[in-house]
Amino acid sequence: MKKWKYLTMTAVLGSALALGACGGGNETKDNNGSSNTGGNKTEQTENEDKLQGSVAGDGSSTVAPIVEAVVEEYAGAQPDVKVSVGVSGTGGGFEKFIAGETDFSNASRNIKDEEKQKLEEAGVEYTELQIAYDGLSVVIHPDNDWATDLTVDQLKKLWIEDGTEKKWSDIDPSWPDEKVVFYSPGTDSGTYDYFDEVILDGEDLVKSATLSEDDNMLVQGVAGDKNAIGFFGYAYYLENKDKLGIVKVDGVEPNADTIESQEYTPLSRPLFTYVKNDAMKENEAAYDFMHYLLENAGDMAGAVGYVSLPEEQYKEELAKLEALK
């Protein structure tokens, strides 16, 4: 019987400890509970520049590496500001932005009209800020020596859903009479939306395409099939250059120069973050973080495989942010 007593005691003590932790949580609710609404007040001591408070963001997985780098650096500058950023995809991020759960939302495409409308209904005023460029890269198998330079029209003809089975020879009779295997990012991603908009004019993407939210799966898919074609952010191409072939679009190959100069068009795209105006006004920490983000996004973008905006552009974006305060 002793064993039982001992065991029950341990169980009771264990849950008491765990419950104690919960009880402790209640007392500090005022500090942290309000962080969920995003509009919490920050305390700033007069003498020091150290801020306190919390900032919440969510959104595109394409933008995430830049933001992660900035958050990492910012933790050194302002250790008491709690920045948390989710990676729910551009669409998923906006959903949380509309629900008022986040102070900023990262996006790899412009905000859609329906999202604008919902934000209006929810009474959320926002401002669009550009933070970097990405060159959406169309890739093929390295042994594919025919489709290395495609025009936008050819891309459209290839990727559009028209009910037929796509073969390379449909585009150019001199190309192999083989089925094309398509790889595309998932429908929740801004990358998919952007490609769909600029290449397919919003029409349906070919149904036989393999969709994946994980871009590494796309890399593996394209690298493993001679007849494959796919597209994703420039960073994924850069890291897998040896395994993939790149497609020039209208004769231009994506690289840091052609993306920044917008010569690589229409697939070089700006990356955005949308900030909630109220949060910038009321939450000192949120404003400070966004300021820091814009000041450092250029360097960080380069470090993680993206392309920074021209210097003047960052100044413009900073001015937009400063006007909100």
Return the number of the residue (8 or 187) whose C-beta is nearest another protein: 8
Q: How far is CA 217 from CA 4, 212, 230, 283, in A?
A: 52, 7, 11, 39
For the bound state, the minimum distance from the C-beta of residue 69 to another protein, rounded and expressed in Å, comes to 4
For the bound state, the minimum distance from the C-beta of residue 72 to another protein, rounded and expressed in Å, comes to 6
For the bound state, the minimum distance from the C-beta of residue 18 to another protein, rounded and expressed in Å, comes to 5
DSSP designation for 34: G
Return the number of the residue (67 or 222) whose C-beta is nearest another protein: 67
For the bound state, the minimum distance from the C-beta of residue 35 to another protein, rounded and expressed in Å, comes to 7
Return the number of the residue (158 or 294) whose C-beta is nearest another protein: 294
**Half-sphere exposure for 81 (CA within 13 Å, toward CB):** 30
Return the number of the residue (71 or 321) whose C-beta is nearest another protein: 71
* Alpha-carbon span 222 to 15, nearest angstrom: 51
Cβ 38 vs Cβ 100: under 8 Å: yes
* Alpha-carbon span 123 to 129, nearest angstrom: 19
Residues that bind another protein (CB under 8 A): 1, 3-4, 7-8, 11, 14-15, 18-19, 21-22, 24-29, 31-33, 35-37, 54, 56-58, 61, 64-65, 67-69, 71-72, 74-75, 82-88, 92, 96, 99, 101, 213-216, 233, 235-236, 238-240, 300, 303-305
Return the number of the residue (57 or 270) whose C-beta is nearest another protein: 57
Return the number of the residue (73 or 263) whose C-beta is nearest another protein: 73
DSSP 228-278: EEEEE-HHHHHHTTTT-EEPEETTB---HHHHHTT-STTTEEEEEEEEEHH
Return the number of the residue (33 or 224) whose C-beta is nearest another protein: 33
For the bound state, the minimum distance from the C-beta of residue 146 to another protein, rounded and expressed in Å, comes to 27
Tokens 């005023």 belong to 125
For the bound state, the minimum distance from the C-beta of residue 39 to another protein, rounded and expressed in Å, comes to 12
Tokens representing 194? Answer: 């952007």
For the bound state, the minimum distance from the C-beta of residue 164 to another protein, rounded and expressed in Å, comes to 33
For the bound state, the minimum distance from the C-beta of residue 224 to another protein, rounded and expressed in Å, comes to 16
Return the number of the residue (64 or 147) whose C-beta is nearest another protein: 64
DSSP 38-104: S-----B-SS---B-EEEEEEE-TTTHHHHHHHHHHHHHH-TTEEEEE---HHHHHHHHHHTT--SE
Q: What angle do CA 114, 234, 165 make, to 5 degrees?
A: 70
Cβ 298 vs Cβ 150: under 8 Å: no
**CA 60, 65, 67, 70: dihedral to nearest 10 degrees?**
180
Radius of gyration of the chain (CA): 24
